[in-house]
Structure 1
Amino acid sequence: MNTTDAPNRIRALREERSWTQRDVADQIGPAVTEAHVGRWERGEVPPSLRYRRELARVFGVAVADLGITAGPALLPRQRSSAEDFMPDVEQDPRVRDSQDQWKATRTLLNQNRHRLSQVAADLYPEHRLGDTGLIAGPGWIPDAPVDLADITVTKVPGAPEPALDGTEREAARSLPDLTLSRSYDRYTRAVRDLAPPRLFEDRLSWRMLGVDWSPSAGAMSFGETTYFSAVDVFEPTAHELAYVALDADGQPSAHPHMRDLPYRRLIGNPFVCARRPVMPAISTLTIRRDGDSAEFLMHRRDPRAVAAAGGMLQVIPSGIFQPSSILPAARALDFDLWRNIQREFSEELLGMPECDGHGRPVDYASGPFAQLDEARADGRLSVHCLGVALDALTLVGEILTVLVVDADVFDSLAADFVDRNDEGQVVAERYAFTQDGVRGLLDSGKVAPAGAGCLELAWRWRDVLLP
């Protein structure tokens, strides 16, 4: 075929790279065969919007450079340089289609996080933590629960900036069009404009750099990051997998390989934390101990309020490891795993105002903070770390902990428990900490990976935690 008479430039772009049609199909994904590529090249069937973007990504060109002119809807609209700085009075249908597809994929992502976490964990089979949807690096799970008092946390001043920030070319599949001339440059900006949850603000956070366990103690090191910096990496990682693995009904349509996931492949070894901003959450299973019996609480996260794990059950309290305020005094005081757990306990269970990052340092000598400290000091409360893992879907860090509280302390605090908080509903039912109670929840497919990891490990070490 004379390429000057070709219906598009797909074949020319392929031959410039000495690729076969099969080479192109393999780089797009398992849903595309060399026969599809052949039909596109011959102009028999124009590729859909999705696959035009995929072809552009594979060839490293703009969609317009594919030269696809199958119908007036595909002709590029001419824009002046001034128009790029002015809002469109009427959004171009191609931009709207791109954004609608992005929103549809994000909806399916949020509806299928448990299922997708299992698919993602299969990509790291030697590191799976059971069927929780978590993966753990070598040595990240200690041989037994470690008291938080025996864990040293260290700040690394001037830690090098992560290599990845979510603006890489490989993340383009997860970013919708902003205008005809450019896509969104960051995932958080797309969320802000197209699908904003009720709670979505940037906050100073700590990023995990390393974890190490000795026989009876542990050490964790951290640098600094922001919430949005982490979201710009971990949500595109999840979005990419949903885009590849789910059909329009949210059902698995493919079992992806790393070759189908360019951004995840770019991340590489997920346990090399310095390469990307790994913002850890501290998830805590709260157990009420009454003699020989024990029960625990769960939290149903509201998908309208939170950016991740909406609609799923989670252990409570659970929150990002971050200071309560940007003030230096607060940052120094709050760099403590136990203080973070206490703040989340007070916010999620007692309805105390959430620290928004700009207030005065927290007074830990008063109220429920003092009550929790006193109970911990006299042995009526214990708090242990069960290990550190990553959510396989997002590769977010998870510090897994368990809080065991004697019935008298628990009941005194529970008198002020709320039914709802800013992130969702505190489940009124208390679950029996028994094999049936734990297994029933784990088998339900409704528990977020971090919560499932806490339950799995706490049950494994129940005789240590509940002597």
Structure 2
Amino acid sequence: MKEARWKRFASYSAALGALMRPNLWDDRFCFRIVSRDWRAAGGPRLTLGEGSYFDLIDQSGPLTRELSATAHRSADPLPAWRRLPLRARYKSEPLSLGRRVVLASVGTLTIRRTADGQGEFYVLRRIKGRTATSDDTHNVLPGGMLQPASISPLSRRSDLSVWRNIMREFNEEMLGAPEAVGQGGAEVDYTRRPYSDFEQALTAGTLRVWTFGMGLEALILTPVLLTIAVFEADVFDVLFADLVLEGPEGIVITKMPLRDAEVGDLLKLPNVAPPLAALLHLALRHRDLLLSAPVRTT
């Protein structure tokens, strides 16, 4: 670690960038949750506004460090709230939208459904030091912040789409495309491959996507939109023929059986990220639905 004695930083992100800069480190535009209505007519509704990635870092970092430092100093495995002044501010309502900036992220469990109706899922083993958050964990594949792919003002409207966000993450994390970090000026052309292939599979029924609601990462108090994507094996093998086994964020663990025993073994590991754990529990609970035969339209 670099020496930082007596030096003051304006924010946690400034300190992290100067002292322990991760491999992926950009203050990207992200969509902020402005309001939520789970009982809206037509289904749950989120209103999104403008935020930045460092809004997340400047909140999650101090919360994590505070809990870690307090736990190390205390013999009690559950530190008292009075010893956690930052976290205690959000005790009654961790998603208080009026008291802090709350960014939205999307975590997707990717399942390959075989011809005999079995499921195989994919996991990203994040390598320590490569990412600013959730490094050194087993995590969802793909996953990322809900954000546009370009600095173009038009992109902030055209990319305000969970589905487009998921498609870009498929392309980036599983096919190795350069990450759309929101700093380029060109909008993504979703009529071109591989996006057109994902759209075609979704329309044909050989790719099905479910949303299972919002989860909350208790350590960093960040909400995650929990989704599951199920590909038919023959389509998956074509779309991901060039599946990368290691990317900028970590190593891909392939074809884990979606069965109680194997999922149980994975969940016993000490570094399973909460979004992955939640999605695996949901996938087992709804396995019959997820692995049912699709109605193919072509």
Same fold (TM over 0.5): yes
SS in 1 for 2:202: helix
Query: For the Cα contact (< 8 Å) 1:244–1:254, is it kept in 2?
Result: no
Counterpart-to-counterpart distance in 2, 1:253 and 1:198: 35
Counterpart-to-counterpart distance in 2, 1:178 and 1:349: 43
Match of 2:106 in 1: 282
| Residue of structure 2 aligned with 1:421, choices 236, 239, 247 | 247
Query: For the Cα contact (< 8 Å) 1:246–1:253, is it kept in 2?
Result: no
**AA partner of residue 289 (structure 1):** R
* TM-score (normalizing by structure 2): 0.90
Question: Greater shift after overlay, 213-222 or 255-264?
Answer: 213-222
Pairs within 5 Å for 1:79-98: none
Pairs within 5 Å for 1:38-437: 99=4, 178-179=6-7, 183-209=8-34, 210-212=36-38, 217-246=43-72, 254-268=77-91, 269-290=93-114, 291-359=116-184, 360-427=186-253, 429-437=254-262
Counterpart-to-counterpart distance in 2, 1:243 and 1:431: 35
Query: For the Cα contact (< 8 Å) 2:103–2:223, is it kept in 1?
Result: yes
**AA partner of residue 265 (structure 1):** A
Q: CA deviation at 1:274?
A: 3.1
Counterpart-to-counterpart distance in 2, 1:423 and 1:362: 22
Match of 1:39 in 2: none
1:211–1:451 distance in 2 versus 1, CA, 3 Å = farther
Counterpart-to-counterpart distance in 2, 1:361 and 1:462: 37
SS in 1 for 2:268: helix
1:415–1:205 distance in 2 versus 1, CA, 3 Å = same
Q: Which runs of 5+ in 1 are unaligned?
A: 1-94, 100-176
**AA partner of residue 194 (structure 2):** P
Match of 2:282 in 1: 457
* TM-score (normalizing by structure 1): 0.59
Counterpart-to-counterpart distance in 1, 2:21 and 2:68: 19
Query: For the Cα contact (< 8 Å) 2:23–2:131, is it kept in 1?
Result: yes
Q: CA deviation at 1:199?
A: 0.7
1:426–1:215 distance in 2 versus 1, CA, 3 Å = farther
Counterpart-to-counterpart distance in 1, 2:39 and 2:172: 30
SS in 2 for 1:367: coil
| Residue of structure 2 aligned with 1:442, choices 253, 267, 270 | 267
Choose between structure 1 and 2 for higher RCO, CA contacts under 8 A separated by at least 6 residues.
Answer: 2
% identical aligned pairs:
37
**CA RMSD for the aligned pairs?**
2.0
Q: CA deviation at 1:323?
A: 0.6
Number of matched residues? 287
Counterpart-to-counterpart distance in 2, 1:178 and 1:455: 45
**AA partner of residue 174 (structure 2):** L
Q: CA deviation at 1:413?
A: 1.8
Higher share of residues assigned helix: 1
1:417-436 per-residue CA deviation (whole Å, 9 max, x = no partner) reads: 11111111112x41101111
1:191–1:344 distance in 2 versus 1, CA, 3 Å = same
Higher share of residues assigned strand: 2
